[in-house]
Amino acid sequence: MGRYIQVEDGVNLFVQDLGEGIPVIFLHGWPANQLMFEYQFSKLPMNGYRCIGIDFRGFGKSDAPWDGYTYDRMADDVRAVIDELGLENAVLVGFSMGGAVAIRYMARHQGHGIAQLALMGAAAPVFVKRPDFDYGLMTADDFTTDMIEATYEDRPKMLSKFGLQFTHSKKRAGTMVWLESLCLQASHHGTIKAAIALRDEDLRGDLAAVNVPTVIFQGMKDKICDPQFAQLLSESITDARVVPFEHSGHAMMFDEAEKFDKELLLFLDQVAATNQIPRPASQNL
């Protein structure tokens, strides 16, 4: 079921809410929307999980205000959704930019309502190379030219080029067309301003505040987020483990879908066991 939730500055966020049980909050990557998790939304409710997908402001069906695309603002939006839905002992799942916002949420809001964290190809701790950060697969100048300026000039062309780096599998042409269609639903200015946040934000000071069990999924052939990010995150988050996807690019949920679903369900089941939360019996297809 989809609904709109109005946040503090009057922006309406579109939120998908499916199933019953332990809440699992999904934060999508740039510049897609929560529909990128549609396969998980179809499967997890059959295993006793409630899937909650949030379209960030400027993306999907959410409002697209002129301002408000910092990680702080997007983390505050997540808090507004959690409070409105009264969520407790939830699992926060963040992919790519969504992973970065999830980390900022854990630091800025002291992990309010969250029992465990899953980071997937997270654009963190810093997305681009800097003089004091020698990781990342591009410099800030290259990102400005290839992603931000290219979006000003020809957004569909930029998205087509970006999509070629998204997965490792060459058999996913149909999936890439579908994902590109999701990205085209975003606002033009929201796409640009969120890209500026990707380029400029720094999460190194946030990581010590993550104090819940954390799993880090990382495609080892990722051409968007440096695979070394996963190791850096695991070294700075107290209770974290890395699950490598050896045959995946950035989007391991498509390149190694079976392994992804298995590992995600294993992690979610740990939430139920740790918090002694009963789950409904699994349903067969």
Residues annotated as catalytic (active site), given as ranges: 96, 222, 250
Distance of CA 145 to the CA centre of its chain: 24
CB 176 within 8 A of CB 250: no
Distance CA 135, CA 230 (A): 11
Single-letter amino acid code for the residue at 256: E
CB 78 within 8 A of CB 113: no
Distance CA 233, CA 209 (A): 12
Angle at 28 between CA 121 and CA 36, to 5 degrees: 100
CB 75 within 8 A of CB 49: no
CB 117 within 8 A of CB 219: no
Closest CA to 109 of 76, 77, 70: 76
Q: Kindly report the backbone phi and psi dihedral angles of residue 222, in degrees, each rounded to the nearest multiple of 5, phi listed first.
A: -65, 130
**What are the residues facing 217 on neighbouring strands?**
120, 243
CB 64 within 8 A of CB 77: no
Q: Name the region of 150 (left: φ>0; alpha: ψ -120 to 50; beta: rest).
A: alpha
Closest CA to 95 of 271, 258, 252: 252
Helix or strand (DSSP H, E) at 196: helix 188-200
